[in-house]
Amino acid sequence: MPELPEVETVRIGLSKWVTGRTIATAEVLHPRAIRRHLPGDAHFAAVLAGRTVLDVSRRGKYLWLPLDSGDAIIGHLGMSGQLLMQPAEAEDEKHLRVRFTFTDGGPQLRFVDQRTFGGLSVSEGGAGLPDEISHIARDPMDPLFDDTAFTARIRGRHTEVKRALLDQTLISGVGNIYADEALWRAGLHGTRPTDQLTRPAVARLLGHVRDVLSEAIVAGGTSFDELYVDVNGESGYFDRSLNAYGRENEPCHRCGAIIRREQFMNRSSFSCPRCQPKPRS
């Protein structure tokens, strides 16, 4: 699942390509791609034709494109979604789901999604912040993220620290990969109780979350296969810098101990048994 760095990389690319351009047509090629747009594909196409894209914004793992009508296009990549800029003459991708053309005749915006877990929709009056995603917390890269409030909220919860990092109503944009990486840097095991964290420990963890996300954005995100690419179809390369995630049975870059893999919420967690000892029962 693309996390904040991957979605931010796409946002940056889209902003360069679509801001200020006027949509000519919005062609829906697979209804599941707009399943969250309840009025259907004809309404989706009609409400977007002739509308100008003002910007490309992000809240956590969601994108939204404010329009001159006051509405917004909301996008979520799901497991395999791609937002690609392609010349009009380029051959259609096998899993092309939605195509946007523009009045200037320039490159098209194409939503490609092999597994169709992602999707697009139009939020009426959502140019500022769509109601559909307003419940999602700000992410730690947002200048309005409140460190003090976050510290109080995470310390006031009776849960494990990794579960807290993945709670998008508490802090958004962090997924399994970057949670493991930040916890490795902080020397914390993911099952550490949040109500036992000191304020300085939370501050250090939050700093490591920001560092990991910033470095991953510079690297264009993390690509383990061909499903995540930026708007130009290029893969990210932060996987070369991973210290914990996906490194089972490999030596820890800090102490040399063998990285372990543990089951976590139908997924896997990776950590160092020496640098990140499990909390005592």
pLDDT for 235 equals: 87
- In angstroms and rounded to an integer, the radius of gyration of the C-alpha atoms of the chain is 20
267 counts as catalytic? yes
Question: Residue ranges per domain, the chain?
Answer: 4-133, 147-271
**Domain range 147-271, its CATH number among 3.40.720.10, 2.60.40.10, 1.10.8.50, 2.102.10.10:** 1.10.8.50
pLDDT for 1 equals: 74
95 is in an annotated binding site: yes
Which candidate in 58, 59, 61, 153 is catalytic?
61
273 counts as catalytic? no
**Residue 66: helix, strand or coil by DSSP?**
strand
192 is in an annotated binding site: no
- The Cα–Cα gap between 199 and 256 comes to 29
Both tokens of 2, joined, read: 């693309």
In Å, how far from its chain's centre is CA 64? 12
- The Cα–Cα gap between 43 and 24 comes to 14
157 is in an annotated binding site: yes
pTM (2 d.p.): 0.93
User: Which residues does 61 contact at the CB level (< 8 Å), separation at least 6?
Assistant: 1, 2, 3, 4, 7, 76, 77, 168, 172, 173, 175
- The Cα–Cα gap between 206 and 221 comes to 19
Domain 4-133 has CATH 2.40.10.10: no
Say how many residues make up the chain.
281
* Best CA proximity match to 270, nearest among 144, 205, 176: 176
* Best CA proximity match to 86, nearest among 252, 249, 188, 232: 232
Which candidate in 2, 5, 130, 140 is catalytic?
2
**Residue 133: helix, strand or coil by DSSP?**
helix
Q: Show pLDDT as tens, one digit a residue, over the chain (281 residues).
A: 789 999 999 999 999 999 999 999 999 999 999 999 999 999 999 999 999 999 999 999 999 999 999 999 999 999 999 999 999 999 999 999 999 999 999 999 999 999 999 999 999 999 999 999 999 999 999 999 999 999 999 999 999 999 999 999 999 999 999 999 999 999 999 999 999 999 999 999 999 999 999 999 999 999 866 778 889 888 898 999 999 999 999 999 999 999 999 999 989 999 999 999 999 87
pLDDT for 6 equals: 94
Which candidate in 3, 6, 8, 181 is catalytic?
3
Which candidate in 35, 199, 267, 278 is catalytic?
267
pLDDT for 78 equals: 93
